Amino acid sequence: MDHEERDRAEAQSAGAFADELRAIHADEAALQARKLRLLARAFELAETQKARIPSMRSRERDMPLRSLAAELGLAVRMNDRTMQSHLWDAHRLVTDFPATVDALGSGDISRAHASAILDAGADIDDASARGAYEQAVLDHARGTTAARTRSFAQQQADIHNPRTLQERHDSAVQGRRIWVTDLADGMSQLNLLTSTALAHGILDRTTRQAKLIKRLDAAARRDSMSAPVEGDGAGGDHVARGEDASTGAAADDTWFDQRTIDQTRADLVIDLLLTGSPAIDPTLDASPGGLGAIRAMVQVTVPVTTLTGVTTGGAELDGRAPVDAETARRLAGDAPGWDRVMTDPVTGIVLTVDRYQPSAEQKRFLHARDQHCRFPGCRRPARSCDHDHTQDFALGGPTEICNLACFCKRHHTLKHNTDWTVRQLPGGTLEWTSPAGAHYLEDPPARVVFVPSADPPPF
């Protein structure tokens, strides 16, 4: 067997694996739908039992469901509280989202898709609006991953929910809190529930602080190769002693930071919470203001109608999560600059971004159009991606929008180092072809379009 025949046989094997895995997933989905219907019937039994209790005391009326949850939980070695949550979710899915359960039973979607539809749409009380939301998300879910379905479902919930995003955000923000989950090996997880803009701002600020520390540490390492470097022990317990490059002996006054970005970022959060500022700041002499001068940076897309108060929704953070209108307007007011994004009024597809310098404009256009890596299922933000030539530049591919797309490092490497191929179709749609010959269409994400509200603008 020559190399060509071997490669063809291996590609066919990969295709066979994909077919078998697809069949297994369909079988699993059908079982999940059957399980949901069973749990929903069990929940209805508990409701029937509760209706016969004359007392209005909540504890007594909760007993039928608690008892049933314990019964079912023990049958499958599951905590009864967890089982009670499963019973409630099954009841809501079967009762409020029957088409989703049907699609799950036929193998069109997975349990994760169904959870995404439930989580985003659970707050839609109007039955007609909920049905329209469910159908819109189901049509999308059948052709994409659960993660992208969750993002799309959140957008559709904003469109179909009679309550505005601002009303829902104002209610949800009242539940902000902090709590600790104890883990193994003397570790605990600190959890913070807060608004989307604040959470991403915290992550962005500490990430840039950590990267600055790593850059300065790398510079100190380079300097130490020729002579010992004066240091102040930046990093505390998380650093390691350096060596004099000329002698190999430990340099008493040279310290190097051995932490990863994740470890450094976690230590910075701890320092900021416990001391109000990083306890050790090795950047004071190298960066104006040191670590404390670094501020969070987030990218928010805001429809002009939301900025002017004509509508109350549509703002998004990095194309991943909705932002309430009040926060969006405040962030826009403080922003050092804006990119104006032109979209098709019907499809919502980005048409152009109006900036003068061509190369920078192309990048802004790609970020606005693609929002994330354009490999099917990947959600890496576009601002963290490479700008890839669909047809290689070295082979004559032009540096034009019709030949550019955002790919993360992982999928950029996949395109260039494996038999995966991609070609760009009109409108920014990409067609990926696997080594087994399967084709996957990847459409550019559409922007959410909102109708004007009846309320007058606030300014």
Model confidence band, residue 241 (pLDDT cutoffs 50, 70, 90): very low
Residue 415 in contact with residue 422, Cβ under 8 Å? yes
Q: Where are the domains of the chain?
A: 19-163, 207-293, 340-442
Query: What pLDDT digit, counting tens, does each position of 417-450 carry?
Result: 888 999 999 989 999 998 888 898 999 987 655 5
Mean pLDDT (whole number) for 355-367: 71
Residue 80 in contact with residue 70, Cβ under 8 Å? yes
Amino acid at 91: H
Whether the predicted pLDDT of 102 surpasses 90 = yes
Whether the predicted pLDDT of 237 surpasses 70 = no
Whether the predicted pLDDT of 99 surpasses 80 = yes
Position 242 scores a pLDDT of 45
What's the CA gap between 68 and 84, in Å, rounded? 8
Residue with more model confidence, 303 or 15: 15
Query: What pLDDT digit, counting tens, does each position of 27-45 carry?
Result: 999 999 999 999 999 999 9
- Sequential DSSP letters for 72-137: HHHHTT--HHHHHHHHHHHHHHHHH-HHHHHHHHTTSS-HHHHHHHHHHHTT---HHHHHHHHHHH
What's the CA gap between 88 and 46, in Å, rounded? 11
Integer Rg of the chain from CA: 27
What's the CA gap between 419 and 421, in Å, rounded? 6
Instruction: Report residue 404 as tokens.
Output: 């550019």
Which residues fall within 8 angstroms of residue 295, CB to CB, at 6 or more apart?
205
Model confidence band, residue 375 (pLDDT cutoffs 50, 70, 90): very high
Whether the predicted pLDDT of 329 surpasses 50 = yes
Position 345 scores a pLDDT of 65
Range in 94-103, 350-359, 422-431 with the lowest mean pLDDT: 350-359
Whether the predicted pLDDT of 247 surpasses 50 = no
Range in 150-159, 160-169, 428-437 with the lowest mean pLDDT: 160-169
Position 373 scores a pLDDT of 93
Position 393 scores a pLDDT of 74
Contacts by 294-297, CB closer than 8 A, 24 or more apart: 294/205, 294/208, 294/209, 294/212, 295/205, 296/200, 296/201, 296/202, 296/204, 296/205, 297/201, 297/204, 297/205, 297/208
Position 17 scores a pLDDT of 95
Position 144 scores a pLDDT of 93
Q: What's the Cα-to-Cα distance from 323 to each of 191, 196, 284, 295, 309, rounded to whole Å?
A: 20, 7, 34, 19, 15
Q: CA neighbours within 13 Å on the CB side: how many for 271? A: 21
Whether the predicted pLDDT of 63 surpasses 70 = yes
Q: What is the DSSP letter of 56?
A: -
Across 150-154, 287-291, 357-361, the highest mean pLDDT is recorded for 150-154
Position 36 scores a pLDDT of 97
Instruction: Report residue 101 as tokens.
Output: 């359960």
Across 12-16, 300-304, 307-311, the highest mean pLDDT is recorded for 12-16
Whether the predicted pLDDT of 296 surpasses 80 = no
Position 253 scores a pLDDT of 52
Whether the predicted pLDDT of 194 surpasses 60 = yes
Q: What's the Cα-to-Cα distance from 452 to each of 289, 310, 420, 429, 458, rounded to whole Å?
A: 44, 6, 44, 30, 14
Mean pLDDT (whole number) for 54-70: 85
Which residue carries 């920078």 as its tokens?
360
Whether the predicted pLDDT of 93 surpasses 70 = yes
Model confidence band, residue 5 (pLDDT cutoffs 50, 70, 90): confident
